[in-house]
Structure 1
C-alpha cells in the first residue's frame, strides 16, 4: 500500500508541476507567486502525497512564502463541509486545485469551478462519477489518477480468499454515495455467501461510532462479516483502533 501511494505521489507531482509550469526567469513575471490549493476529506489522509509534492516543488525551486503559496483545507471527516471548503479555496484564485483521495473531494472541487485546473489524486471511477468525459480525453478543467477499482475488486477478494479459504460474508467499509459494487461483481462465482455494505464513511463518522460502540462490535449484530474490505479514506484506521485487524482478515482498496 505504501509503495502504491508513493507511485501516485510521483504521478501527482508531474501533473501539478506541469499545470503550475516550470520555474523560469524568462517566462515568469517578476515576483510571481504560484498558488496551490489542496482539498482533503480527512486530515492527514494524503501525508505521503503531500510530503512528496512539497519536496519535489522545492527541488524545482519553489519555496512557500517566496514564490509559492500552499493552501490546505480538510473537512475533518465531514463530507458536508467539502462544498464550502472548495468554494473558499476557489475564491483564493489558485493556479491549481488538488483534490485529495476519493470521489467526494473531487466532485466538490469540480462543482466549485469550471476554469481553475483540478487534479484529483485517485478516484475509482472518474467517468462514472461525472468528473471527466473519458479516461483518454478527460476534457474540461479536471484530470487526475484512477485506481481502476472495478478492475481490482475481484483481485482483492481473491487475496482475502487466500488468507481465509472458504465461503464467507464480506463486510465492505464504503461510502454509499460512491457505490463499490464492482467488488461484488468481481467475486468468483459461489465463493461468498453474502455482501454487506457497512457504510462507514469517514474518520469523523468512525470516531462517532467508536464512541457509541467502544468495543468495535456494532457491525456484528447486523452483518456478522467474516472478512472486511476497506475502500474509503480514513477507514483503514478504524480496524486497527477497534481490534478488527486482530479478529478478521482485511484488505484495503
Structure 2
C-alpha cells in the first residue's frame, strides 16, 4: 500500500470512534412528579398535562430525551413517602412536588436531587427555602398565596353572600393555613363576622366538621388550599351544596365543579412555569439560584347556577368584575 493511501485509511479508521460517539443517542433525563390529587381527579390530570406540554415546547420529548414518571398520592402520608422512595429508586435527575404536605415529605427524602415545588404556601416559613430571591440548597419553585389572602377570601365571600354572619375556614393545621386563618380573623371584625377554624385531616373529618358547623343560620365557608382539600374537592363542593353553605374556594376548578365562587390563580399555568424551571435545571441551572415566584395575576370565577340554588342574587358589579361567569 502506498504511504498516502495508508495514511488516508488510518485517518478514516481514527474517525470511526468519533462518528460513533456523535451518533450515540442523548441520555434520557428522568423527572419524578408526585401530585396531591387522586389519579381519577381531572384537576391533577390537567395540571400534569400542562407541565408535559410546556416541556415539549421547550424541546423535551418523552421517549426521546426525557422520561416523566407521575404518581398521584392524594392526602395519604404513608403513600406519599412510599411513592417518593419508589421514584427516587429510578434515579431521577429532578423531582417535582405539589402542595406543602407532599413537598415536606419529598424534601426529607430527595437529599441532593433538585426539587421543584408547585403551589405551596409560605415556602420560607415551611422550611423549604431560606430566601425567596436566592433559595439556597436544592429546592425552589412556585408559591401560591400570601397569608393575607385569608382576609381577601372573607371579603369576597361577604360581597357575594352579604347575609353571612358565621364563617368557617376549612383548613389543615399547618403553618401556611394558620397564616390564612390569622388574616381572616383580623378582617372578620370589620365585617361583623364570627370566624371559626374547622380542622380536617381527612375526608371523614371534612364531613364531620362541616356538618357540625352547618347547624345554624347565615353560615358560609372559606376553603383553604391544602392537600386534604385538593384530594377531596368534589366532596367539599357537594357538602357545601348539601348544607346550603355559600363557600369561596382558592382555585377555579372548584367553581367549575359547582362551587359558588373562587378567587385564586391559574393552577395549570403555574405547572407550565414549573416546566420552565425543570428545563433550566436539566440544562445546568442550580435550584439555589432560581428565585421562588408568586402569582402575579388572580382570577375570579362565579357560578350563577349555584348562587341561584342558594337563593343568592349576585350583584352585577361582581359579575362584571369576574374573569368567568358560569350561567
TM-score, structure 2 length as denominator? 0.59
**Cα distance in structure 2, aligned partners of 1:91 and 1:181:** 35
Find 1:62's aligned residue among 60, 70, 77. 60
State whether residues 103 and 178 of structure 1, in contact with CA within 8 Å, keep that contact through their aligned partners in structure 2. Answer: no
Q: Classify 1:116/1:53 alpha carbon distance in 2 versus 1 (closer, same or farther; 3 Å).
A: same
Greater helix proportion: 2
Report deviation, 1:118. 0.5
Corresponding residue for 1:11? none
State whether residues 239 and 245 of structure 1, in contact with CA within 8 Å, keep that contact through their aligned partners in structure 2. Answer: no
State whether residues 33 and 97 of structure 2, in contact with CA within 8 Å, keep that contact through their aligned partners in structure 1. Answer: yes
Moved over 4 A (4+): none
Find 2:133's aligned residue among 129, 133, 136. 136
Corresponding residue for 1:33? 28
Q: Classify 1:243/1:118 alpha carbon distance in 2 versus 1 (closer, same or farther; 3 Å).
A: same
**Cα distance in structure 1, aligned partners of 2:231 and 2:194:** 24
Corresponding residue for 1:195? 195
Find 1:183's aligned residue among 173, 180, 183. 180
TM-score, structure 1 length as denominator? 0.75
**1:100-139 pair list within 5 angstroms:** 100=98, 102-139=99-136
**Cα distance in structure 2, aligned partners of 1:195 and 1:79:** 29
Report deviation, 1:168. 2.1
State whether residues 118 and 143 of structure 1, in contact with CA within 8 Å, keep that contact through their aligned partners in structure 2. Answer: yes
* Superposed CA offset, 1:106-134 (max 9, x none): 11111002211111101111111100001
**Cα distance in structure 1, aligned partners of 2:183 and 2:74:** 32
Q: Classify 1:119/1:179 alpha carbon distance in 2 versus 1 (closer, same or farther; 3 Å).
A: closer
SS at match of 1:73: strand
Find 1:164's aligned residue among 158, 161, 166. 161
Q: Classify 1:184/1:77 alpha carbon distance in 2 versus 1 (closer, same or farther; 3 Å).
A: closer
Q: What is the root-mean-square deviation of aligned Cα atoms in Å?
A: 2.9
Q: Classify 1:198/1:167 alpha carbon distance in 2 versus 1 (closer, same or farther; 3 Å).
A: same
Give 1 or 2 for the bigger CA radius of gyration: 2
**Cα distance in structure 2, aligned partners of 1:128 and 1:46:** 25
Find 1:220's aligned residue among 192, 196, 214. 214
**Cα distance in structure 1, aligned partners of 2:238 and 2:163:** 27
Tell which has more relative contact order, 1 or 2 (C-alpha 8 A, sep 6+): 2
SS at match of 2:147: helix
**Cα distance in structure 1, aligned partners of 2:122 and 2:78:** 21
Q: Classify 1:107/1:184 alpha carbon distance in 2 versus 1 (closer, same or farther; 3 Å).
A: closer
SS at match of 1:116: coil
State whether residues 173 and 235 of structure 1, in contact with CA within 8 Å, keep that contact through their aligned partners in structure 2. Answer: no
Q: Classify 1:236/1:178 alpha carbon distance in 2 versus 1 (closer, same or farther; 3 Å).
A: farther
Corresponding residue for 1:248? 245
Report deviation, 1:158. 0.6
Q: Classify 1:224/1:117 alpha carbon distance in 2 versus 1 (closer, same or farther; 3 Å).
A: farther
Corresponding residue for 2:89? 91
Report deviation, 1:166. 4.8
Find 2:223's aligned residue among 209, 230, 246. 230
